[in-house]
Amino acid sequence: MNFLSPDFSPAYSEIFILLMVCLVMLVDLAAGEKRRYITYGLTQATLIGCAFLTFATFSEETTLTFSGMFVDDAMADILKLMVFATVSAVLIYSHTYVRDRGILTGEFFCLILFATLGMMVMISASHFLTLYIGLELLSLSLYALVALRRDSLMATEAAMKFFVLGALASGFLLYGMSMVYGATGSLHIQKIAEVIAGGVNNHEVLVVGLVFIVAGIAFKLSAAPFHMWAPDVYQGAPTAITLFIGSAPKLAAFAFVMRLLIDGLGNLVADWQGMLVILAVLSLAVGNIAAIAQTNIKRMLAYSTISHMGFVILGFISADWNGYSSALFYVITYVLMTLGIFALIMILCRNGFEAEEINDFKGLSKRNAWYAFMTMILMFSLAGIPPMVGFYAKLAVLQAVVNAGFVWIAVAAVIFSLIGAFYYLRIVKLMYFDAPETDELITVKSDVKLLISVNGLAVLLLGIFPQSLMGLSLYAIQNSM
């Protein structure tokens, strides 16, 4: 029996990050608490090294390795580069916050890197087992990160809810995958697509498995009615962890849907399209209506996330390149907006004080006009007001949905977006028309100040000139299908 050695080059970045996690653990142990900046610098260097390896091995050709279980294509490379940039920004934004609350530990950095590795595996998975391993590596890291602040009852409660509901969703997903395996006789995504295209006798078994898979996907996307974990976890977790949960994993979730539904089960589009319509409309309705009643800013943004994931799902409903690329464009812009708004929430936090209520934004324009302007840009973008990038992202998705013949869904999405604009504009009203509750000056490190300025201005400029990012999204989809 001859053993064929796999091609390791597509997985260089995954191998590198795994080795660096071990090094980060050892260095942190030797450096100690007083020299934690070494661990922080090494973690950032790890992300830069991964980005370099991914860019160096970039190819337009699709490469399969590890017995067809791992795929390297344009979409995988672009999403991984986005993940590295997002995680790096999360670390810069959250450094002061986690230090002041005693959770700037070696465990924090290692869990962040393990979660990043899980996302990378999900993005490049070409096999059900690889998909599930990547998903669980990400999920287990997130559970631990939420509970990292051991002295917080809210964080512990949020982690328990997250863990229990996450385990239930994983069970749904595994059961659905087992049904698909029983119907097709394979766990390889490409082979499953080929078997379904050739016709299967037990189509009913496939559909039952598909229902469970869609339910598992909906949980990971925090789409209604599988959204119940999101508000509690967003509110209970430390703001830095909420920032991480709400940003980079959404990129991996997009890849997860692409690999599973589009690449593997794309020929069952007539069966899963109706399910996604229900998820999208419910997410838009629940997210936008429930957010109006919230006074906690993190909880409000959790419901906002649910509504935005409804828009992402709309992109998949169209079942064509334009729809998928518009969904990718939407996810990237959503991550950019989420990074900025949670960073601004952490800027308002002080040692011993958590800026978690919407009233904490009162009079921000009088305390710091620049940060108020950045917040206004991000809120306008989240609401879909031109010329911010959020408007163009919504427009691209709606155009794809209308072109696919789902005009009524596009009309419903516009109506729910108009309803949702209220809770975003309410923040702007508080900043510019209400008196501040404190006159304390806002002071932040220069790197955070620079990054938040770049973040906010990027949201504005990408709305005025969206062609480059939209073209990149279309390129990633066309060269990966």
> How does pLDDT run across 427-481, given as a tens digit for each residue?
999 999 988 877 777 878 888 999 999 999 999 999 999 999 999 999 999 888 7
CA proximity to 242, closest of 334, 146, 98:
146
User: Positive or negative CA dihedral for 314, 319, 323, 325?
Assistant: positive
- Identify the pLDDT of residue 436: 85
E strand or H helix that includes residue 72 = strand 70-72
172 vs 234: CA distance, rounded Å: 23
Low-confidence ranges of the chain (pLDDT < 50): 1
Q: How does DSSP classify residue 188?
A: B
DSSP-derived letter for residue 5 is: P
Give the residue from 289, 221, 288, 209 showing the smallest Cα distance to 251: 221
Beta bridge partners of 357: 296
pLDDT for the residue numbered 2: 58
Locate 308 and state its tokens: 């935005």
C-alpha to C-alpha distance for 214 and 146, rounded to whole angstroms: 25
What pLDDT does 355 receive? 84
- Check residue 1 and give its pLDDT: 46
Residue 141 CB partners (closer than 8 Å, separation 6+)? 111, 112, 114, 115, 118
**SS3 label, residue 70:** strand
31 half-sphere exposure, CB direction, 13 A CA radius:
18
Tokens 């916050």 identify what position? 97
CB proximity list for 60: less than 8 A, separation 6 or greater: 74, 479
Secondary-structure breakdown of the chain: helix, strand, coil percentages, each rounded to the nearest 5: 80, 5, 20
Tokens linked to 143:
């559970």
CA distance 218 to 195: 25
Q: Are 63 and 73 in contact (CB under 8 A)?
A: yes
Tokens of residue 2, six digits: 């001859």
Q: Give the pLDDT score at 451.
A: 94
Instruction: State the DSSP H helix or E strand holding residue 453, giving kind and residue range, or none if neither.
Output: helix 446-464
pLDDT at 3: 59
Compute CA distances 14 → 53, 115, 480, whole Å.
9, 12, 20
Tokens (6 digits) for 352: 């011993």
Backbone angles phi, psi at 393, to 5 degrees: -65, -45
Alpha carbons 395 and 384: distance in angstroms, whole number:
9
User: 219 with 161: CB under 8 angstroms?
Assistant: no
Give counts: helices (H), strands (E), the chain. 20, 2
Contact 180, 224 (CB under 8 A): no
Tokens of 285: 């309705």
Nearest in space to 242 (alpha carbons), one of 94, 408, 72, 352: 94
Place of tokens 């066309």: 478
Give the predicted TM-score (pTM) of the model.
0.95
Domain boundaries, the chain: 9-478
State whether residue 323 is helix, strand or coil.
helix
CA 137 – CA 131 distance, rounded (Å): 10
Take residue 448 and report the two structure tokens written for it. Answer: 């955070």
- pLDDT of 23 reads 95
- H helix runs in 222-295, sequence order: 229-236, 239-245, 248-257, 269-292
The C-alpha angle with vertex 359 and arms to 368 and 94, in degrees rounded to 5, equals: 60
Sign of CA dihedral 382, 387, 391, 397: negative
Helices (H), 32-149: 36-56, 74-100, 106-123, 128-146
